[in-house]
Amino acid sequence: MFLRLVRFKLSDAARAQAMAHELITAIKQQPGCQHAVFFAADDGESGLAVLWDTQQHADAAAGLIRPQLERHLQGAVAAPPEARLFPVLAS
């Protein structure tokens, strides 16, 4: 199992709700998605955490979801999102 963690800081925290619905719906439709959450704090710190069954499924989904994420983030963040993939040791 693998965890994809993507973090970013929104300049407009109100954008998070619309992003969350669209992105989580799309992610959960991808093969191998075990669980997906979108998180956001009042200061704009936001992100996605997704559990995948395999690294191959995680990487394939990233190629499809990343353009959608970038479209939402265009002009709404000061820096590109930070994305990492971690092997899960226990759950």
Domains belonging to the chain, first-starting first, are 2-87 (3.30.70.100)
What whole-number percentage of the chain has pLDDT above 70?
A: 100
- What region does 32 belong to: left with phi over 0, alpha with psi -120 to 50, or beta? left
> Is the predicted pLDDT of residue 76 greater than 90, yes or no?
no
**In this structure, which long-range contacts are made by residues 53-60, counting pairs with CB atoms below 8 Å and at least 24 apart in sequence?**
53/1, 53/2, 54/2, 55/2, 55/85, 56/32, 57/30, 57/31, 57/32, 57/33, 58/2, 58/4, 58/32, 58/85, 59/85, 60/30, 60/31, 60/32
Per-residue pLDDT of 34-67, as tens digits, reads: 999 999 988 889 999 999 999 999 999 999 999 9
